[in-house]
Structure 1
Amino acid sequence: MKLTAEMSLYPLQEDYIPVIKSFIEAAAAQQEITLVSNAMSTQVCGDWDPVMQLVNSCLRASHERFGKQVLVCKFIPGELEIAG
């Protein structure tokens, strides 16, 4: 089963751009995931378990490296056409 997740990361610090870039780079490194990023969010699409694992691993790694942050995530069951 396919899953699409739309994520927006809000680091709770002044220098937030490196935190967001690091999160997106980690997500983009995942195999078999389609990723599109824009100024407002990052969308990932793939099989259900790898998408959920991506959200878990990327948020955990980002928190361990950079500290407190908020991740707003919308989950849409199914595969959406996401345009870059």
Structure 2
Amino acid sequence: MKASIELTMSPLQSDYEQHIINFIKALRNSKFTVMENPLATQIYGEFVPLMEFLTKEMAASMEKTKAVLFYIKVVTTDRSDYEPFF
């Protein structure tokens, strides 16, 4: 099953920018479709492999930060081709 996932990473420390950059670079280097905007990052692909990948990358980020929040939204369809209709 296809999935669209929106992520926001919020490291709770003063040097937060580099942690976010490293996480986004890991997403970009994956086999999945990644789209970014100033507030969140969307990633698209098959649900199980996508979640396995995100679990690994999120765990790696958690090990490198003092405390980090991940906000995640999951939709069970590939919305990577969405275009506003209005």
**Fold agreement, TM-score > 0.5:** yes
* Per-residue Cα deviation, 1:20-46 (whole angstroms, up to 9, x for no partner): 001111111111x10011110000000
Q: Runs of 4 or more off by more than 6 Å in structure 1?
A: none
Report the AA paired with residue 3 of structure 1. Answer: A
Equivalent residue for 1:29? Answer: 29
Say whether the 8 Å CA contact 1:4–1:51 is kept in structure 2.
Answer: no
Which consecutive unaligned segments of at least 5 residues does structure 1 have?
none
Equivalent residue for 2:40? Answer: 41
Aligned length: 82
Say whether the 8 Å CA contact 1:36–1:82 is kept in structure 2.
Answer: no
Q: Give the distance between the partners of 2:67 and 2:81, measured in 1 at CA.
A: 29
Q: Which structure would you say has the larger Rg?
A: 2
Equivalent residue for 2:56? Answer: 57
Evaluate the alpha carbon distance shift between residue 17 and residue 82 of structure 1 in structure 2; reply closer, same or farther with a 3 A threshold.
farther
Percent identical: 28
Say whether the 8 Å CA contact 2:4–2:80 is kept in structure 1.
Answer: no
SS in 2 for 1:73: strand
